[in-house]
Amino acid sequence: MNPILTITQMREVDRTAIGNDSSIGYRYMQKAGMGLYQAAREMIPDTASGEIAIVCGKGNNGGDGYVAGRLLINDGYRVVCYSLVPPENLGGECLLAYRDYTAGKFPVVIIDDIADFPHPSRFCLIIDALLGTGLKGNPHGLHALMIETINNSAIPVLAVDTPSGLDNDTGLPGFPCIRAATTVAMGYSKPGLHFFPGKSFTGNLIVEELSYPDDLIANIDPVMFLPAISDFRKMLPRRRPDGSKFDHGLALFVGGSPGMTGSVTLMAEAAQRCGCGMVHCAVSRAIADVLSVKLTEPVLHLLPGTADGTLDVSATGPLLNLAERMQALCIGPGLSHGTATTQLVRDIISQCPLPTILDADGINAFKDAADELVNHAGDLCITPHTGEWERLFGPLPSDPCGRAALISSTARRFHLTILLKGNPTLVASPKGVVTLLPYGNSSLAKAGTGDVLSGCITSFTAQGIPVTDAALLGAYIHGCAGELASRDCTEYAVTAHTVIDYIAQSVRSLL
């Protein structure tokens, strides 16, 4: 897991690692410049494609730009650095990078009027090395004019560390703010690069590790963590070549009501696609005929219902008996909001020792009674979207750091796992560790995709994965499946069933 740091935390890492030694700082700058150079090569693989403009400020971002410019020229690219600051105003590591760049007699043009900047149509790429994360307020003067000129050019932009003008803590853009195609964050990622609207200015995000000493992070409490693909690969449950269906997880789904049978169907199918050996669905007798047609592989268990066909509280005993043979439980989607059904959910959560995923109407069953969640009998994961969260716990902060802090403290208070749906998704462990999952797109903004996610998480839990890891892995598989599906179907045409169809490709990405 890679830490996501606030601006203040990143400054503290730099201060501790570098101190007042510019030679150490310049070594880190050279690594940063190498990462920028490699990103530029990926964007423009042909050295004959055209000229690259690197627009430099006076800080470390400008220094990174000079290092990358030198490397690109040595590799055969045509590069010109455009500085908004005269050389006598440069200092520290930026001055060292400038001197190394100009020692090769490489071109630098000093810009003191926007009219001095060439028409951008001559460039195939513009590297934004103007303003770093230390900017407060809006860019102004020549810097603002340069940002506007770059944005109006329609030329792809590669941003150094951050798009110039973006607040890396809040994700709020200044006016103006660079719209980058790709951003290379140096050392560690920052919250504002992952949350909208900042994410739309960041483009494709690359985190360039600079090999800071590990003990520096040990003394800092990161606001969030960003998983690597290798982390998910380690979580993926192993298949037993000599195992039966009983060795690959038995999952129990409790949900559905008249007119809401799709939720159970989607959960069950997603669970099977994620490797679950056997799926059981406990439903009201009123919807048994419909589900018998929709589901041929899962086992159906018919339970007492109310007059309107929803599950009755009298089903609590049979459900608890059924759960004794299972490895994981999911309860909630499609259940309805009836009083008897609500009481059923609360009773099951307080009495069933299975690891449990609580979603949709299961979460709504605790409206005005959130404190009862502390009495869960088994490991518990709740998967609210913003509306469900606010009905349960009240308003969510809009800023990324405040949001992460609140779900962290709530997870610790109730000793449960929280998966807060959204773009990005956040997962908080019972110990309060928050992980950011930047997967998925608007293809998942469709009815039923949340049921698919619950099916994925429950499947991995039934296969023996700890609940928090199952939430992380399920969210990755779900988000990746949505992205893969949208490449073939567009984000418009993907449905919840389409996401299920692409789970296989998503799993394959980890094998």
Element of type H or E holding 208: strand 204-208
| Domain ranges, ordered by start, for the chain | 2-226, 240-435+454-463
Query: From residue 4, how far is each of 74, 151, 437 by CA, in Å?
Result: 33, 28, 12
Coil, helix or strand for 499? helix
* pLDDT per residue as tens digits for the range 202-258: 999 999 999 898 888 888 889 999 999 999 999 999 999 999 999 999 999 999 999
* pLDDT per residue as tens digits for the range 488-499: 999 999 999 999
Q: What is the pLDDT of residue 20?
A: 86
* pLDDT per residue as tens digits for the range 127-155: 999 999 988 889 999 999 999 999 999 99
Distance, in Å, from the CA atom of 61 to the CA atom of 133, rounded to the nearest integer, reads: 9
* pLDDT per residue as tens digits for the range 358-371: 999 999 999 999 99
* pLDDT per residue as tens digits for the range 297-327: 999 999 999 999 999 999 999 999 999 999 9
CATH topology assigned to domain 240-435+454-463: UDP-N-acetylmuramoyl-L-alanine:D-glutamate ligase (3.40.1190)
CATH 3.40.50.10260, domain 2-226, yes or no = yes
Q: What is the pLDDT of residue 136?
A: 84
Please, which pLDDT band fits residue 384 given cuts at 50, 70 and 90?
very high
3-state SS of 382-426 is ECCCHHHHHHHHCCCCCCHHHHHHHHHHHHHHHCCEEEECCCCEE
Distance, in Å, from the CA atom of 104 to the CA atom of 298, rounded to the nearest integer, reads: 70
Determine how β-strand 204-208 pairs with β-strand 224-226.
unpaired
Distance, in Å, from the CA atom of 390 to the CA atom of 508, rounded to the nearest integer, reads: 36
Q: Answer whether 120's CB lies under 8 Å from 55's CB.
A: no
| CB proximity list for 177: less than 8 A, separation 6 or greater | 139, 147, 163, 164, 165, 166, 201
Counting every residue written for the chain, the total comes to 511
Q: Answer whether 6's CB lies under 8 Å from 12's CB.
A: no
Distance, in Å, from the CA atom of 425 to the CA atom of 410, rounded to the nearest integer, reads: 16
Distance, in Å, from the CA atom of 124 to the CA atom of 223, rounded to the nearest integer, reads: 37
Distance, in Å, from the CA atom of 509 to the CA atom of 81, rounded to the nearest integer, reads: 40
| CB proximity list for 66: less than 8 A, separation 6 or greater | 33, 54, 56, 81, 94, 97, 98, 100, 101, 129
* pLDDT per residue as tens digits for the range 393-440: 999 999 999 999 999 999 999 999 999 999 999 999 999 999 999 999
- Decide if pLDDT at 60 tops 90: yes
Question: Measuring CA to CA, which residue among 288, 283, 344, 354 is closest to residue 323?
Answer: 354
Phi then psi for residue 29, to 5 deg, are -65, -40
Distance, in Å, from the CA atom of 440 to the CA atom of 194, rounded to the nearest integer, reads: 12
Q: What is the pLDDT of residue 219?
A: 83
Looking at residues 178-186, what average pLDDT do you find? 98
User: Would you state the structure tokens that stand for residue 132, as one six-digit string?
Assistant: 């770093």
CB burial of residue 242 (10 Å; 0-12, 13-18, 19+): exposed
Q: Answer whether 410's CB lies under 8 Å from 427's CB.
A: no
User: Would you state the structure tokens that stand for residue 501, as one six-digit string?
Assistant: 């169809």
Going edge to edge, which strands form the sheet with 380-382?
Answer: 2-4, 224-226, 434-437, 425-428, 417-420, 380-382, 356-358, 328-331, 250-254, 278-284, 299-303
Distance, in Å, from the CA atom of 144 to the CA atom of 150, rounded to the nearest integer, reads: 10
Residue keyed to tokens 């929709």: 294
Distance, in Å, from the CA atom of 54 to the CA atom of 65, rounded to the nearest integer, reads: 6
